Amino acid sequence: MPRSAPEPRKTLDPDRVAEWLARHPEFFVGREGLLQQLKVPHPEARGATSLLERLVHDLRQRAEQAEWRLDQLLESARHNEAQYRRTRELVLGLLEAEDNDALGQALATQMAERFQIPTVALWCEPSLTDREPQPPQPPRQVLDDHARARLAALLDGRTSRCTRLTPTDWAQLLPHTDAPRQAGSCALARLALGEPLGYLILASPDPDHFRASMDTLFTEYLSDVLSRLLMLPGPTLNG
């Protein structure tokens, strides 16, 4: 009588095994010896290790990752606190300015000392300076058609932007400073309060100081503060 072919060996589907174990966590109760016999691939070397050793390794990794994330959060908190303090001192310094020229000087000093931004400019519409007894002093400048057109082109329809400045742009838009031999960089923002008031420029001779990918929230906040101070009536500003 011919021998019958052996039945094919049946294997369990790994996903179904995992699903079953997840639904029956009590399976290993009373089978602790089985846990000690289980071997799993070592995460960092060839061969296998015990399940318990693997669990200890995974828990250690998770603890290290949690510690790293905590360090990142603490560093971010320290940075935000320092940024808040610098911004607070900047705004208080601007509020103490007695007139618009003093406002521009306070802006330049605060940005250089607290934010390591060596060059600033406030380009103001002529309507802001016509009522002043003296021509504005740097870093304030009076907008003309050429400067207005170039600043609008650099902003490219945006409220604020970080971009490169060619030496020609630097000489035109920051005339009170020496132009770098190579391209610099800047953060630009419009000055407006119901009507156009001008432009704010924060500049650095380092072409990578202000990158196009950078957020401009701080620059917009500063432009909002300056717009209100430039328009502030009374003896504190504008005489």
Cβ atoms within 10 A of the Cβ of 52, count? 12
Torsion of CA 164, 167, 169, 170, to 10 degrees: 90
pTM confidence score: 0.71
CA distance 21 to 26: 9
- DSSP, collapsed to helix, strand or coil, labels residue 2 as coil
CA distance 127 to 47: 79
Report which residue type is found at 189. A
User: In the structure, how many helices (H) and strands (E) does the chain have?
Assistant: 8, 7
Q: Could you tell me if 111 and 120 are in contact, meaning their C-beta atoms sit under 8 angstroms apart?
A: yes
Largest CA distance in the chain: 123
Task: Supply the pLDDT for residue 47.
Answer: 62
| Residue 43 token pair | 């995460």
Who's near 170: CB < 8 A, 6+ residues apart?
A: 177, 179, 180, 184, 203
Task: Supply the pLDDT for residue 19.
Answer: 84
Angle at the Cα of 228 from the Cα atoms of 224 and 229, rounded to 5 degrees: 115
Q: What is the pLDDT along the chain (239 residues), one digit of tens a residue?
A: 555 555 556 677 878 877 887 888 777 777 767 766 666 666 666 666 666 676 777 788 889 899 999 989 999 899 889 989 999 999 999 999 999 999 999 999 999 999 999 999 999 999 988 878 888 999 999 999 999 999 999 999 999 999 999 999 999 999 999 888 889 999 999 999 989 999 999 999 999 999 999 999 999 999 999 999 998 764 444 44
Q: Would you call the peptide bond into 139 cis, given omega within 30 degrees of 0 as the criterion?
A: yes
Task: Please tell me the total number of residues recorded for the chain in this structure.
Answer: 239
